[in-house]
Amino acid sequence: MSDQPDVGPKAAFVAAVYMLAIGGVFALERVGAPDRLVAALGPVAALIGVAALGVLTRAKTLLDFLVARRAVPSAYAGLALAAPIGGFALAFNGAAADSARLPWRGLAAGVVLAALIVAPRFRATHASAMSDVFATRFPNLFTRVGFAITLLVCGLALAASGLGYAALTVRNSLGIEPDAALAICVAVLVASLAPGGLRGLVWTDAASAGAGFATVGLLAALSARAGSDVAGRIETAFDELGQLPGPSLLHEIAAAAAVASLFAFVSPALAAASAGAARRAGAIALLVLALGGVAAAALGDTPPRGASDSALAALIVCLPALALARAGLYGAARAFGLDLARAQKRLSVLASRRMALARGGVLLGACAAAAIARISPHPSAPLYLALGFWLAFATPSLLLSVLPGRNAAPAGVALTVSVAASLLGRLLGFGDPVYGPDLLVGCLGAGLAGFAVGFGLFVLTPPAKPAPPLPDPFVELPGV
């Protein structure tokens, strides 16, 4: 069942591209090449490597496209999870002018919950995407449409944020126009996701995390070799982090709830062999992120010493930004494919048609995300929109999905109440919608109202259909 012999040489090829690019950066700088050429090689290598691996991991069967044949080892799934989380952290680093107001403690707690609890929980349901969870658990036209819209909005917002950061990096490194940089990043995004679906997403994200982590470590090692006080920088960075005042506890709780339930951090776990393997992948992702954070702290705010440092820094930013864009785009593309329309009959759907629809969704979604990124005042602007929308309208039903039965009524009522509470909060002028943490608090209130009413309806009405444990339909499935 494993696809390792197939993917291994391709991943090794892309790793060789990255290594040659890094070597080429230093070689060009040493022979006196123009600084712009040296600085451009980093992001160019990242874009070529990601696009090449996406094309090389093209899915030939529905099992590969939807769940990567449930054959991705925990170590690689963990790397694949670390990449979009890294892009998420980079985006939030610029999400507020005053970093003291950023609910970073809540964001960190949400990431831990997502990696160790939420993602393994949904892997245990044998789903192939979050849209699969909604459709099979709440088989109703109203809920399908409502959750499809929610997934589409949130997915495109996340994709726009990732695209915006990647395009900004490419523009600064290559010295080209913003629209040209955005077009290049859109082409790479489509090439890295459309051919392979979840298979391509996992392996390109794993390669991105590995290359990014290795590059951060290399820069930290070079900084130490140059005589910098690396230990002092790490100590200072963690002291400053611990003394950062941060917003109120309510803001932190809202941020944690939004991040913990976010669909973007579930996809890599769905390619693991089991829920236990998904949990190990989450632990590996957290370890990689912790080590990467230490290496980043060792660099501190030191300005680049030359064009080679600029090239490697651009590579470090570009890779996770594209991973965040892939995570959002994958969720959006699956929302309006066949998942929310016929997921409960997924094995009767023609495989070629299903993959064609999803690939078309990737292409259209990438263009829509690019349009959003182009009009956004800052690449981080769509992030709070995605988190707030998801927290208010999707998280209540995700909580209801762990309850027994397949009755769609509680989820439909929860969605309706959440929408009504959100509109009422806006009419009453609650909070500051421009300030992201306030927006999350308002969305948390709307989500809690929806969940309370939906849970009450669930208690008062028996489940419409029993929901016995089912075998994984995506493992050893013949004929697809």
Structure tokens at 11: 């991943």
Q: How wide is the angle at C-alpha 334 spanned by C-alphas 182 and 423, nearest 5°? A: 85
| Mean per-residue pLDDT, 33-59 | 84
Q: What confidence tens digit (pLDDT) does each residue in 429-444 have?
A: 665 556 677 888 889 9
Q: What is the pLDDT of residues 117-143, one digit of tens each?
A: 999 999 988 888 888 888 778 878 888
Q: Nearest CA to 6 among 56, 50, 51?
A: 56
258-294 pLDDT, tens digit per residue, is 999 999 999 999 999 999 999 999 999 999 998 888 7
Predicted confidence (pLDDT) at residue 417 exceeds the cutoff of 50: yes
Q: What is the CATH number of domain 4-387?
A: 1.20.1740
Predicted pLDDT at 479 = 37
In terms of Cα–Cα distance, which of 385, 263, 369, 282 is closest to 321? Answer: 369
Residue-wise pLDDT for 203-218, tens only, equals 999 988 888 888 887 7
CA dihedral 8, 14, 15, 16 (to 10 degrees): 110
pLDDT given at position 344? 44
Mean pLDDT, the chain, integer: 81
| Percent of the chain whose predicted confidence (pLDDT) is above 70 | 79
- Domain boundaries of the chain, sorted by first residue: 4-387
Q: Which of 304-313, 453-462, 467-476 is most confident?
A: 453-462
| Percent of the chain scoring above 90 in pLDDT | 36
pLDDT digits (tens, 9 = 90+) for 1-12: 444 446 666 666
pLDDT the model gives residue 284: 95
Total H helices, total E strands in the chain? 20, 0
Q: CA-CA distance, 431 to 410, in Å (whole number)?
A: 28
Answer with the residue of higher pLDDT: 165 or 479: 165
CB atoms within 10 A of CB 36: 12
pLDDT at 264: 92
- State the pLDDT at residue 227: 56
Residue 84 pLDDT > 90: yes
Contact at 8 Å (CB) between 98 and 104?
no
